[in-house]
Amino acid sequence: MDPTEQARPIIVGYEDTPQGRDALSMGVALARATGEPLTLAGAYGPAAVLSRGELDERAAEIGERLERVAEPVRADLPTGVEVAAIPGSSAAAALQALSEALDARALVLGSCHRGPVGKVLMGSVAERLLNGAPCPVVVAPRGIAEGDEPRLRTICVGFDDRAEGWSALQRAAQLAGAAQARLRVVTALPPLTGTLAAPTMPAELVAERDRHAEIELARAVESVSERLEAEPRLVRGYPQVVLADQAADVDLLVTGSRGYGPFRRVLLGSVSTALMRSAPCPVMVVPRTAKFEPTGEGMAAEDELAKTR
């Protein structure tokens, strides 16, 4: 993290369940990599069905529980650990409000308890937040807390030449730079479909599409900081299948959101939805209109600025 930049916490939506511990494990890994503080958040409510006294009692209970969980984590995270017992009409609404209030770097959740061990499967809270959160949302695979401590050694980003692709690339580069991780930049080449009259696309059009993709992928890799070990991969296949395959040997998969929702919000498209239901590694979805800054952390232009300081 740039020492001149205001700290933006990693928020972990925590509950005392295996899934909550998975989220905490992933949140600690992200906080350690980025140098950002960690906030453990527990939701309570809704106020409509609880009295004032019941709300206060519930808040105190959750706060004490979070403090017990946070205490051993503080020794490992010099950037700090805070706790927040937050009211809301639902857990998703409470976490969304907190992420907005704190300008969070990311919001981390666990997978649904019905999912297979080692795979991501978003639950109802994650699904609601993925259609409304103002910051990147990370879902940890079920059971990640039971294995070795998560580390960010290889980060994979799904890239295409659109606004959300560049925003995802920058966030992945930022994380890779902070964690000293390898960066894999993947572009998928889905089959081109023709018309009923001409079901097969002309070879020259396919070749032109492929050349354009190669150029854009090379430009993407050249745009990241020279201190990163960035590897381009151009793979034929549908994006959700290609990225799920590429996620098999990485520590975090970063993707943009393609849906068309409220400004500066995550809204799942078909690719990110598919990955949130089956990916074999933690998945981060970046808001579709997150601001792309060519001189930001992890980008090549940042190197040039550093030389003038």
- The whole-number pLDDT of residue 49 equals 65
The domain locations on the chain are 1-151, 152-309
User: Check: CATH 3.50.50.60 for 1-151?
Assistant: no
**Coil, strand or helix at 57:** helix
Long-range contact set of residues 261-267: C-beta below 8 Å, sequence gap at least 24: 261/131, 261/132, 261/288, 262/132, 263/289, 264/134, 264/289, 264/290, 265/131, 265/132, 265/133, 265/134, 265/289, 266/129, 266/130, 266/131, 266/132, 266/133, 266/134, 266/136, 266/137, 267/130, 267/131
Q: Which two tokens stand for residue 117?
A: 């061990």
- The whole-number pLDDT of residue 276 equals 82
- The whole-number pLDDT of residue 258 equals 67
Q: Are 79 and 7 in contact (CB under 8 A)?
A: yes
Q: Are 148 and 137 in contact (CB under 8 A)?
A: no
Distance CA 309, CA 305 (A): 7
**Coil, strand or helix at 86:** strand
- The whole-number pLDDT of residue 32 equals 92
- The whole-number pLDDT of residue 265 equals 45
Q: Please state the pTM of the whole predicted model.
A: 0.88
Domain 152-309: give its CATH architecture: 3-Layer(aba) Sandwich (3.40)
Q: Do domains 1-151 and 152-309 have the same CATH topology?
A: yes
Q: Are 257 and 266 in contact (CB under 8 A)?
A: yes
Distance CA 79, CA 290 (A): 25
Distance CA 51, CA 21 (A): 30
What's CA 223's distance to the chain center, in Å? 21
Position of tokens 């700090």?
A: 80
Q: What is the mean pLDDT of each run of 10 residues along the chain (309 residues)?
A: 69 94 96 93 74 83 94 87 90 91 94 82 83 87 92 96 90 94 95 63 85 96 93 94 94 82 53 84 83 79 71
For the chain, the first-to-last Cα distance in angstroms comes to: 17
